Amino acid sequence: MNASAMTWLLFAAADALLPFNVRVDYSPVVYDADGRLVAAYLSADDKWRFHTDNVPEALKQALMFKEDRRFYYHFGVDVLAVLRAAITNAVTRRRTSGASTITMQVVRLLHPGPRTYERKIFEAFYALRLEYRLSKRQILELYFNLLPFGGNIEGVEAAARFYFQKSVAALSPAQLTTLCVLPNRPNGLRPDKRGAELIKARNKWLEKFKSAKIWTEETLEIAKIEALTARRRPLGMYAKHLSRKLVDEARDAKSVASTLKLDLQIQAETRVKNYVQRLKAYRITNAAAVVVENQDRAVRAYVGSADFDDAATAGQVDGAAAVRSPGSALKPLIYALAIEKGLNPKRMLLDAPTNFGGFWPENYDRKYRGLVRAEDALAQSLNVPAVAILEKIGISALTQALSAAGFAQIEKDAKKLGLAAALGGCGVRPVEMAGLYAAFADGGRYRPIRKRVADPVEPPISLFSPETAQIVGEILRRRDRPDLPAPFVEAADAPAVSWKTGTSLGRRDAWACGYSQKYTVVVWTGNFDGEPSPFLTGTDVAAPLMFDLFSMLEPRHSSAVAAPLRLPKTEVCAYTGLPPGPFCHDKIFDVYVAPSRETCDHRKEYWVSNDGKTSYCMECLPEKGAEKRIYDHLPAEWTAYFEREGIKHDFPPPHNPQCSKLGASQTKIVFPTHGAEIFTTTAGQRLRAQAHADARAHHLHWFVDERYVGATVSGESPPLPHSDGKIKLTVRDDLGGKHSVEFKVKSAGR
């Protein structure tokens, strides 16, 4: 057996019988996208020990020159250095030279012990084993990461961060030389107490390094006059919610490179904290904000709460990742999905009291606008049109889109959600909203947001077309709307932002979600304990903070928007916004994405008697005494609204009462539904029912258990008396049409 094999067997046996642990616990560290320190945490053994494998070559040469000039030529023990040390110590009769190699020092740093000759033998033995197990590069890496710099600071990277507030790779020659001399006397050369001695030691070694040609003459002269700026200063801790999460997810990783930009993070934290201080007078104690760069979905700032360390307001709760009600902030997606199915911006919608199967949405100000165009309904955040659109496209279309966009709670609750989701009856997270609004900025293409530099830029998922994204973006960029904060109404230099606000039911959550060409910003404000505030609204509370963050990101005069697409245009009826029918005389042009499946028929030709008092169908048209005239032919809910509001309209006269086809009326009760169970909560509470009337009908007549209770127009019902139990509800119209449903009524608690 040759010597090499014998050596291998010897060290293999030593490793088995005398284990030597070279594992090092490092401080978890989070860096920003440019390598600046965002946050750091003590190691498992309470050390500030930052790992680095990016030590400047000059520092390597300097320390090897100072500590172990034959590092690359020995196997852990420098025999020549040992002989020299022995002779020197014998001659001087005191210990003046230790002959420790860098490898032996690594052994000592890994397993500290007393400075004795027996200990030297231990270090030498294990140094040989270390050289056997590790490469020279790995040994040097351990050395630079374990060097002591006073107190609980270890390693050149931690020392650079604490003493110079920068990475070791960014230090000047004078600063690097300071790091060379500190480990020998970390407490005796403390910069804050022994500054003059430290400068003297530094300059002494600068001269020696010059002789070794590590520094040039010019570099040396500059370094010698450089002021000593080394002071131990506390590390800044930023993005505490996200940093803790990244460290937990990284597990054994020595560091995490986040996508944050430290300067933006610091500014965002400062602005959020200062802003919330002003809100506390209104019983609003917290806020969260997320800033995303649209191009690669990188999170550039992440503020989980106004003050992480404020226990009184539950500051350690991560509001940016908390499930909250979005209020109206999902409406842009609802409109986008409808535009994909044929809704165009100038389509006329009705904003009036409407019963959606027992759900009666109201606008924020409890006022209704009547007929309003889709683009205005979105800009003004009207509730009834949004719910009507969601009912038409289907709740599943919304939940599927949100699930595809990473909304975890929506995906979990998809089967339980109803039309109230249009107004905030669901749970979303600010980080999820940031991903959604970034998709609007990117032409409808969704990608997961990225929190780590190593996170891949995922292939996009198309939620809707670029044309739809442009249409919605232009609507949301309008400033003639009620949710523009007062300070920005006259601000001509406000950034070009498309945005939407939201306020949850009961004023527990206020949102502002916006995007420019480059950035997306989502802001949530409220209280983590769910306490409402009468002052909490998206317009008054969340939007000002969102615009403030945009002013931090964008030049104040920025008006850059994405290059507009050439959207197709079509001729539509000026009254309804639908493709014109034969009797639509006022026409305008409107953009569209998908052709509408409907055609305008708001004016229709009828056969009427010569005196205009009776209308006829083809079944009852007389041979003479009738003529064709054009009248309004509107949806039943429009008719009901006009009747209720006393708005002038031109409806056809009542149908011929002698017509044998009167039974073909389309009048139908839509709430309650047949077989439903209705629970009342207040003693004596009256029921409200709703029916859609045939377009030819003018009035509806209501009966409860065959007892007449009153007449209404379409879309309304009189208060219906009732008692617990089974009820039969009947409606008749003035065409002779009739519809009945049976349902049960129960008082709450029974």
* Domain containing residue 502: 287-553
For residue 740, the domain's CATH number is 2.60.40.10
Q: Are 101 and 178 within one domain?
A: yes
Give the pair of three-digit tokens for residue 489.
Answer: 């109404």
* Residue 247 phi, psi (nearest 5): -65, -45
CA-closest candidate to residue 180, choices 160, 151, 194, 152: 160
The tokens 């109206």 sit on which residue?
A: 328
Please indicate, yes or no, whether residues 425 and 531 belong to a single structural domain of this protein.
Answer: yes
Q: Judging by DSSP bridges, how do beta strands 677-680 and 738-747 pair with one another?
A: parallel
The answer to whether residues 179 and 318 belong to one domain is no
* Domain assignment of residue 243, yes or no: no
| Cβ 223 vs Cβ 206: under 8 Å | yes
- What is the Cα gyration radius of the chain? 38
In a domain, 266, yes or no: no
What pLDDT, on the 0 to 100 scale, is given for residue 96? 46
270 assigned to some structural domain: no
Is 595 part of a structural domain of the chain?
A: no
For residues 433 and 523, membership in a common domain is answered with yes
Tell me the pTM. Answer: 0.85
The verdict on 315 and 461 lying in the same domain is yes
d(CA 315, CA 530): 14
Residue 684 lies in a domain: yes
Q: String of b and e for 172-211 (b: at least 16 CB within 10 Å)?
A: ebbbbbbbbbbbeebeebbbeeeeeebbebbbebbebbbe
Choosing from 512, 527, 553, the residue where a domain stops is 553
| 697: in domain | yes
- The domain spanning residue 431 has which CATH number? 3.40.710.10
| Sheet strands (E) in 145-235 | 153-154
- Token reading at 423: 């107004």
The last residue of a domain, from among 181, 208, 224? 224
User: Token pair of 143, please?
Assistant: 């050395």
Q: List, in order, residues 6 or more apart from 492 with CB less than 8 Å away.
A: none
Residues 216 and 330 in one domain: no
339: in domain: yes
Q: What share of the chain is helix, strand, coil (3-state, %, to 5)?
A: 35, 20, 45
CATH of the domain at 120: 1.10.3810.10
- Same domain? For 361 and 479 the reply is yes
Phi, psi of 520, deg, nearest 5: -120, 135
The β-bridge partners of 40 are 29
Identify whether residues 309 and 184 lie together within a single domain. Answer: no
Q: What is the pLDDT of residue 521?
A: 98
Does a structural domain hold residue 159? yes
- Walk along the chain (750 residues) in steps of 10 and give the mean pLDDT of each run: 57 58 90 96 94 93 91 83 58 57 90 77 84 90 94 94 93 93 86 86 89 85 88 92 95 91 98 97 97 97 97 96 97 98 96 81 90 96 96 95 98 95 97 98 97 95 97 93 73 77 95 96 97 94 95 72 85 94 93 91 91 87 91 81 81 79 69 78 63 73 79 70 81 78 72
ω into residue 657 within 30 of 0, thus cis? no
If DSSP states are collapsed to H, E and C, what string results for 643-676? HHHCCCCCCCCCECCCCCCHHHCCCEEEECCCCC
Query: In this structure, are 212 and 308 located in the same domain?
Result: no
Specify whether 132 is located in the same domain as 217: yes
Question: Of 520, 553, 586, at which residue does a domain stop?
Answer: 553
Q: How many CA atoms lie within 13 A of 625 on its CB side?
A: 10
Residues 449 and 312 in one domain: yes
If asked whether residues 389 and 305 sit together in one domain, one would say yes
Q: Structural domain tally of the chain?
A: 3
